[in-house]
Amino acid sequence: MTKHDGETEPQSIKSSVTPTLLARTSISEHHTLEVVQFEGGMTGIIQTGRAVDDTPIAFEADAPPEEPEAGGAPPAGYDQSTARTADEQQWFRNTHCNGAQFCVQGWDWASAQSGRPVGNGSGIAMVGREGTRNADFRFLYWKNGVWVEFWNGVVIPGHWVSNGLTGNGHHIRWELNGAGADTRVSLAARF
């Protein structure tokens, strides 16, 4: 796992293969779910939603999310707009980092990868709502000595995107890039 500190990020080959959409459904206004087939017979689940308001549906490759603790009313003078970013980061940590092999919270970009071939894996990325730029969320696998991209999505500020993979044991990698140096990002991976 890496965090941005001015160093050059690893390069990958961009795949020309677009996943085949097998099914798509809307869970709520901002929460969607897609079932896709990647090259080589690998299948995946792609979900998108609004940070804090929507929680991804857990599947077999995922550990079940923990229920957040109930809390009292906000203190007097609580400003939702300035506190929301810290709340998002805490929500992400509580909901997605417990049990994850990697959990990165930082600024601008983050990455995580399996250290061995895996048959199942899932990653989720979030961009803080203070951001002004969309971030690129890539899903890659190791093939013949290079990282090959087999899925690419956009995470807009204040939202998350998750992806999961089943099939063909590969080393897999998730990269979240381009949110901006003044924007908080979170990335968690399970495999």
pLDDT digits (tens, 9 = 90+) for 75-104: 455 444 544 567 888 989 998 998 889 999
Domain boundaries, the chain: 19-63+85-190
Q: How far apart are CA 159 and CA 29, in angstroms?
A: 13
Residue 5 has pLDDT above 60, yes or no: no
Residue 40's CB: how many other CB atoms inside 10 A? 12
Exposed, middle or buried, 12 (CB in 10 Å: 0-12/13-18/19+)?
A: middle
Domain 19-63+85-190 belongs to what architecture? Sandwich (2.60)
Cβ pair 104, 112 in contact under 8 A: yes
Nearest to 125 by CA among 157, 150, 149, 167: 157
Give residue 126's pLDDT: 94
Query: What is the pLDDT averaged over residues 40-63?
Result: 71
Higher pLDDT, 120 or 5: 120
Cβ pair 94, 125 in contact under 8 A: no
Give residue 134's pLDDT: 95
Residue with tokens 């092999």: 101
Query: What is the pLDDT averaged over residues 27-55?
Result: 81
Instruction: Provide the token pair at 111.
Output: 């990455």
Nearest to 141 by CA among 162, 160, 167: 167
Give residue 74's pLDDT: 41
CA dihedral 98, 101, 105, 111 (to 10 degrees): -150
Read off the pLDDT band of 135 (50, 70, 90): very high
Containing 89, the helix (H) or strand (E) segment is helix 80-92
